[in-house]
């Protein structure tokens, strides 16, 4: 039995949902999995020695990741580098299959460039458009981006682009990193 840590940063809740799905799948395979928001990990601290592998996920908003993600990876760069680990980027541009390829996803590449932690294993997961739940200024900004990228712009639109079967495959992959 392996013990896995899934850390995440989520703003609207979809990355949290993906992270919980990863954890549930890992546990359904007979392994242990702790899942927590990075702010919780910062407050409570982490005993990295309890885990065989680690996955860190973050959502993209306005073309970048929240500064807390970079602060976390800076502070915990050594621990993340010493453990078998993976980074997963959740973004709506990945609604296009070619943007799910790490080398073709500019947001993932931007993370690798800006983060002091250089993950050897990465994953791109398509996110969710949920205009009704977003603050008005977020909705307007994202509608503009979507207009430029031929995405949905109707303010009533809710589309989950996440491939949930692929999330399960990724969860199995995170466990396999510990082998």
Q: Which CATH number goes with the domain that contains 46? A: 3.40.50.360
In angstroms, the CA 47 to CA 15 distance is: 23
Looking at the chain, the whole-number percentage of residues with pLDDT higher than 90 is 93
pLDDT in tens, 56-89: 999 998 889 999 999 999 999 999 999 999 999 9
Beta bridge partners of 90: 59, 125
Distance CA(65)–CA(112), nearest Å, equals 11
In Å, how far from its chain's centre is CA 153? Answer: 24
Whether residue 94 is found in the same domain as residue 104: yes
Examine the domain organization and report whether 150 and 99 are in the same domain. Answer: no
Please state, in angstroms and rounded to a whole number, the distance separating the CA atoms of residues 179 and 164.
24
Same domain, 75 and 134: no
Calculate mean pLDDT across residues 7-12: 96
Coil/strand/helix, residue 88? strand
Mean pLDDT computed over 132-160: 93
Domain identity same for 54 and 103: yes
Which position has the token pair 């502070």? Answer: 75
Q: Are residues 116 and 133 in the same domain?
A: no
Give residues with Cβ within 8 angstroms of 52, minimum separation 6. 2, 3, 4, 83, 84, 178
66 and 52 in a single domain? The answer is: yes
**In this predicted structure, what is the pLDDT of residue 63?**
84
* Residues 62 and 121 occupy one common structural domain: yes
Domain match, 119 and 152 both:
no
Domain that holds residue 42: 3-127+163-177
CA 79 – CA 83 distance, rounded (Å): 6
In a shared domain, residues 110 and 60: yes
Question: Residues 96-121: pLDDT tens digits?
Answer: 999 999 999 999 999 999 999 999 99
* 143 shares a domain with 86: no
Same-domain check for residues 29 and 110: yes
Q: Is 163 exposed, middle or buried (0-12, 13-18, 19+ CB in 10 A)?
A: middle
Q: What pLDDT was estimated at residue 7?
A: 98
> Distance between terminal CA atoms of the chain?
10
Domain count along the chain: 2
72 with 148, same domain: the answer is: no
């Amino acid at each position: 039995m392996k013990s896995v840590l899934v850390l995440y940063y989520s703003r609207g809740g979809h990355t949290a949902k993906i992270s919980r799905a990863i954890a549930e799948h890992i546990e359904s395979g007979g392994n242990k999995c702790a899942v927590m928001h990075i702010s919780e990990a910062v407050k409570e601290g982490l005993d990295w020695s309890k885990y065989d592998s680690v996955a860190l996920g973050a959502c993209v908003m306005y073309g970048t990741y929240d500064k807390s993600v970079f602060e976390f990876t800076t502070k915990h760069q050594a621990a993340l580098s010493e453990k078998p680990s993976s980074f997963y980027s959740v973004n709506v541009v990945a609604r296009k299959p070619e943007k799910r390829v790490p080398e073709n996803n500019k947001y993932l590449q931007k993370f690798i460039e800006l983060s002091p932690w250089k993950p050897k294993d990465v994953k791109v997961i398509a996110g969710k458009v949920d205009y009704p739940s977003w603050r008005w200024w977020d909705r307007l900004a994202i509608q503009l981006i979507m207009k430029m990228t031929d995405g949905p712009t109707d303010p009533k639109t809710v589309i989950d682009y996440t491939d949930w079967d692929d999330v399960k495959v990724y969860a199995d992959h995170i466990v396999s990193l510990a082998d």
